Structure 1
Amino acid sequence: MISNKYLVRSLCATLISTAFLAPAQAGETELLQKIEKLAAELEAIKAELAATRQKTEVVEKKQEAISTEVARVAAAPATPAAAPITESQLDALRKTLQQTVISSYGEIGYNRPRNAASQTQTDVARAVIGVTHRFSEKTKMVAEFEWEHAIASKGDNGEAAVEQLYVEHELKPGLQAKAGLFLIPAGFLNTSHEPTSYYGVQRNFVETAIIPTTWREAGIGLSGTHENGFSWDAGLTTGFDLTKWDATSNDGRSSPLGAIHQEGQLAKSRDLSLHGAINWRGIPGVLLGGSAFSGKAGHGTSGFAANDARVTLWEMHGRYNPGKLDLTALYARGTISNTDALNLTFVGQPTPVPSSFAGWYLQGAYQVWKNEDYSLTPFIRYEQFNTAKSYAPVPQGLGVAAAEDEKVTTIGLSFKVGEGVVFKTDYQKFRLDSSRDRYNLGVGYSF
């Protein structure tokens, strides 16, 4: 191969001969063009030569470093081969790495009423940070902290709350005990309400108006799982506080139990409540279950007209999810007993305490497309609910008429990016109050 040095010399000779030995008839302009072209080629060769020299220096330094490392290793004393890592050591390493786990979920929604565009709004509905710390193989702590509606301060609509805070200990394989503030195992969403786990931009009405998701109580609980597909939960916890009922507001009409839940905030605890739940997953893709919760809600409050009032809520649910198809159904019913004397004190107010409230829904979804990164699932849901289905009898002319059932049809799509991010859109049609018809868009995540 001809060296760059030789090319430089050759090009210089050519340049000289061209400049001084050119035929006399050659034009001056042509001669200058040839000189400029040859000069440009000379500069290019010089640049290439400099780059080659730089690369050579880099290679030489790398070779020197490799040689030094080889010499060092060769001079080092021989060591026996490392012993293979045992399975128990691997388990210990996994436990160390998984000792503390951070989780989170959040969602943002856009709602546009069909007939009232001026009421269109966007809301950072919630952001939740979770911490699970495992003290040992059998004992752990679970905590979740939630912020709703973006800003939590005086004069804002936002709220900051402790959603869960409990410790759990495995008594034996398949049997756990816990104590603290935890979610009541009712329905589908109360214990699994991340935006990636349900269809629709908003949580369904039955599991917000009838079952006040997310509903948590402070207390103790037991849970168990069995090889035959059955699992169960039972516990003794705080309950509702009926003294919080405000007959002048619409809160009780939106969600009767949501208006009187305590959420662990200086919760009245003279009257405690019992709950139980059972689920069966004995066939792949099939879930059948139900739950019940009951407890007094007066707490022996002095001068209160309904100290014997009892709140009871029960529900049944089923799901069939063999693959791409996902079918769910749920029925929930609640009662508040011994409210007649209390409602007499609310005569003339718009929202007395209902003696019963109930709702149900059917939902179907089908995953029409999926690849390694994305999936698309359309769904349809029909639900019917009533937050004031009946009232305790009062003297004629003093009571409030029971409400009619609201019926809502929701049609929408869920577009998932992997398993942790979802984009949603849907349209909701209200049969009783069509002014609430709306288009919704949302984005959510969970990890």
Structure 2
Amino acid sequence: MNAYADLQFAYFNYGENQNRANGSQKDSRLVFDTTRLVLELEAGLPEYGIEAEFEVEFEHGGAGAALELEYEEFGEFDTDVEKAGEALVEELYLTKKLGRNLEISVGRFYVAVGTLFADYRPTDYLGTIRSEAETRIIPNTWNDMGMQLRLDIPWGLRLTGQVVNGLDSTGFNSNTWVATGLQQRFELVRASDLAAVLRADVKRFPGFIFGVSAYYGGTTRNRPKPDLVKQCDDANPNVVAPCGYVSAPLLVADAHLSVNRAGWRAHAMVMFGHLGNAAAVSARNARLSNLLNVLRTPVSDNALTAWGELGYDIAPALGLDGNHRLEPYIRVDYMDSQFRPRAELFDNPRFERTVYTVGTSYTLAGLAVIKLDFGQRRMGSSAFRPENTLRMSTGFVY
């Protein structure tokens, strides 16, 4: 049995509404958040080479709700409040060893894209929050259902291949690109459009891990309604999509680096994404039901994001033993959810953002952590006010 948790205390000098002409208004507000509590359970039958893993996350202590599509009520969306709290099953899978270096997993697991695939616990990264650059463009701690193959090559290369259900393009928008396309609003997960993931990580050099990953999959047929279809004159009314669906494939590719050596810790990543037929997706999303609770703003054809953090452990210089890590750090997050969009889509500078962060992280025995940092977010134009945030977080990994 394992667990980890994260609590956040934050001060903001700006208002929540960032859609004003000159950016958010000046403000002074505090926010406390029971960010997450995650419970992990592992079990297995070693004699058969079988392992099982279960992970459930409790977020924010809020009430949960599920959306249901009711055709009996003219195809409208109903909200069914049925959960006492917001609990998410992030991992639930079985793994079978197929030899010394090869294994296959089936179930729900993390999608092998970006840095959060491996570094998602509060002791894994230096900042008080996970990288804003990564979580603004793709789903935060992205998990989906499917099958995974993992091969460890003895000289230090790990290959991961996955086939998972694709995203739902009704959640795509200007602000967060495809990050809100993860299928969590409905009781059942649609898998009419699948996605393939390939990842390679080099672990040959002590303290260094670097690699690349790529994701490619459809997004059209996983929408709640079959509303993004091709039109034709001889359409058969007895077929859901007699002329086929409008193709809207999603490509995401990244290169990533992790360092933990000689007192230094660092993470870095650059990621590019492309959505095919983004104009068609945007046009259809603009007519979605209000009850679906999506932004309905146009989604860009491309997105670009990059981030890096660097810290150094000064505990030995202060006479502290190996159970203590005290790491001043810096971080830079860059994100543009409207990177080089199509000609008819205005390249809004409010969606190009850079966050500069300085802070300190203290870890005790690799279990308990407390962090403090200051960050300033700047938009792609000086017409928008900078946004300052002071955060403190505490957590544990057990």
Please tell me the TM-score bracket, short chain as reference.
0.7 to 0.9
Which one has the bigger helix percentage?
1
Counterpart in the other structure of 1:351: 297
Counterpart in the other structure of 1:415: 362
Going from structure 1 to structure 2, the CA distance change for 1:157 and 1:121 (only over 3 Å counts) comes to farther
Counterpart in the other structure of 2:378: 431
Counterpart in the other structure of 1:389: 339
The percentage of aligned residue pairs carrying the same residue is 23
Going from structure 1 to structure 2, the CA distance change for 1:105 and 1:391 (only over 3 Å counts) comes to same
User: TM-score, normalised on structure 2?
Assistant: 0.78
- What's the offset of the Cα at 1:224? 0.9
Q: Distance in 2 between matches of 1:234 and 1:363?
A: 28
| Higher normalized contact order (CA 8 Å, seq sep 6+, divided by chain length) | 2
Which among 358, 368, 374 is matched to residue 324 of structure 2? 374
Which one has the bigger strand percentage?
2
Which among 173, 177, 198 is matched to residue 256 of structure 1? 177
Which among 381, 392, 396 is matched to residue 441 of structure 1? 392
- What's the offset of the Cα at 1:434? 4.3
Higher CA-based Rg:
1
Structure 2 counterpart SS, 1:342:
helix
Structure 1 counterpart SS, 2:123:
helix
Going from structure 1 to structure 2, the CA distance change for 1:184 and 1:345 (only over 3 Å counts) comes to closer
Give the 5 Å matches for 1:239-250: 239-245=166-172
Confirm or deny: 8 A CA contact 2:137 2:337 kept in the other structure.
yes
Confirm or deny: 8 A CA contact 2:217 2:250 kept in the other structure.
yes
- What's the offset of the Cα at 1:361? 1.4
Does residue 1:282 correspond to 2:204, yes or no?
yes
Q: Distance in 1 between matches of 2:279 and 2:133?
A: 26
Q: Distance in 2 between matches of 1:167 and 1:316?
A: 28
Q: 1:140 corresponds to which letter in structure 2? A: E
Counterpart in the other structure of 1:188: 115
Q: Distance in 2 between matches of 1:237 and 1:347?
A: 27
Counterpart in the other structure of 1:85: none
- What's the offset of the Cα at 1:287? 1.5
Measured against aligned partners, the alpha-carbon deviations of 1:117-156 in whole angstroms (never above 9, x if no partner) come to 6421110000111111112341111110111002334689
Counterpart in the other structure of 1:272: 194
Q: Distance in 2 between matches of 1:157 and 1:378?
A: 39
Give the 5 Å matches for 1:17-416: 102-114=1-13, 118-137=28-47, 138-153=49-64, 159-245=86-172, 252-263=173-184, 265-299=187-221, 302-304=226-228, 307-345=246-284, 351-369=297-315, 370-394=320-344, 399-403=345-349, 404-416=351-363
Measured against aligned partners, the alpha-carbon deviations of 1:191-237 in whole angstroms (never above 9, x if no partner) come to 33111111111111122112322101101110011111100100211
Going from structure 1 to structure 2, the CA distance change for 1:118 and 1:158 (only over 3 Å counts) comes to farther
Q: Distance in 2 between matches of 1:387 and 1:337?
A: 15
Q: Distance in 2 between matches of 1:190 and 1:159?
A: 22
Q: Distance in 2 between matches of 1:265 and 1:365?
A: 42
- What's the offset of the Cα at 1:254? 4.2
Going from structure 1 to structure 2, the CA distance change for 1:158 and 1:425 (only over 3 Å counts) comes to farther
Matched residue count: 336
Q: Distance in 2 between matches of 1:256 and 1:158?
A: 27
Q: Distance in 2 between matches of 1:240 and 1:346?
A: 14
- What's the offset of the Cα at 1:350? 6.9
Q: 1:105 corresponds to which letter in structure 2? A: Y
Measured against aligned partners, the alpha-carbon deviations of 1:322-365 in whole angstroms (never above 9, x if no partner) come to 22012332101111111223333466987212111111112211
User: TM-score, normalised on structure 1?
Assistant: 0.70
Q: Distance in 1 between matches of 2:358 and 2:155?
A: 36
Structure 1 counterpart SS, 2:131:
coil
- What's the offset of the Cα at 1:318? 1.7
Confirm or deny: 8 A CA contact 1:184 1:191 kept in the other structure.
no
- What's the offset of the Cα at 1:390? 3.8
Q: Distance in 2 between matches of 1:147 and 1:233?
A: 28
Structure 2 residue ranges without an equivalent (≥5): 15-25, 66-80, 230-244, 288-294
Measured against aligned partners, the alpha-carbon deviations of 1:278-319 in whole angstroms (never above 9, x if no partner) come to 010112122210100110111185331573001111110123
Q: Distance in 2 between matches of 1:133 and 1:112?
A: 41
